[in-house]
Amino acid sequence: MANLSVSGQVFKSLLFAPGNKRSILSKLPRSSPDAAIIDLEDSVPIDEKENAREIAKSIIPELNKEAKKMGLFIRVNALGTSHFTEDLSNAISDGLTGLVVPKISSGEEVEQVSKSLSDFGFENLPIMAGLESVSGLVNALEITKHPQVKWCYFGAEDYVSDLGGFRRDDNREVLLARSQVSQATRLGGVHAIDMVVSDFKDDKRFAEEATEARSLGFTGKLCIHPDQVSLANKAFKPTQEEIDWAIEVVAEYEKAIGRGEASIAIGSEMVDEPIYRRAQTTIIMSQQ
């Protein structure tokens, strides 16, 4: 089986900040997240939406100047809300890495977002799609297949609410959904971003969730507090032990292929093509 290629930049940590809080937005680079997300949706009250758009648009150049390596996104309100078009018209501008669109339910909705971006002159702006509903999960593959989608994030709270379930400390209720997201993004060739941990003081839970997410194929995690950034960056970067293992596996397996062998033993471990591909991925992730 050929290795599946993945497009789009890897972001291990993606830090949200409310769009109507200029003082908080201006501090985003201090935490050194891989990417920052100016939020116009859930964290902004309805009567502050217009103010948030103005602040977001005006602060983009400032943030880009201060943190050139930091990805910068705006999360708009969902397609179909009265705020969506206003967000595109009055908040986005050049200098964004991409647009975060919550609650995407189908490939058709992504196409509507794409057309709207084109109407406002942003036809090439990459999209991070929020998979946060039952329909979004069922249609995840067609969403990830859209050429403008480069990342998808899983929103556990909205998904479980839509499902009619309840949140558990062990996350058993979202294991299937997270697996569906990682599988769909893998087949679509885009990156999977894991859910938030709402208790920003629970470092243990965040670290455990991030490690579990990486094991499921996610490449990053949403953060709602600066303290979570370093935890995400650490969790999604391979350890030195993993890197050393991967380098040895790649080197020895490629030698074996040159000898006409497709399976070798390295110590007590049997190595064949799937393990070789996993080692390659580990090396790639260590360089991000």
pLDDT of 174-207, one tens digit each?
999 999 999 999 999 999 999 999 999 999 999 9
Average pLDDT, the chain: 93
Q: What is the C-alpha separation between 64 and 71, in angstroms, rounded?
A: 8
Residue 23: CB atoms within 10 A of its CB come to: 7
DSSP for 165-181? ----TT-GGGHHHHHHH
* Tokens found for residue 286: 């260590």
Provide the 8-state DSSP code for 146.
Answer: S
* Tokens found for residue 32: 């050194």
Flag whether pLDDT at 153 surpasses 80: yes
- Tokens 């499921």, residue? 216
The third-level CATH classification (topology) of the domain covering 13-235 is TIM Barrel (3.20.20)
Whether this model's pTM surpasses 0.75: yes
Flag whether pLDDT at 75 surpasses 90: yes
In the chain, where are the structural domains located? Answer: 13-235, 240-286
Q: CB within 8 A of 219, min separation 6: which ones?
A: 10, 11, 12, 191, 192, 193, 236, 285
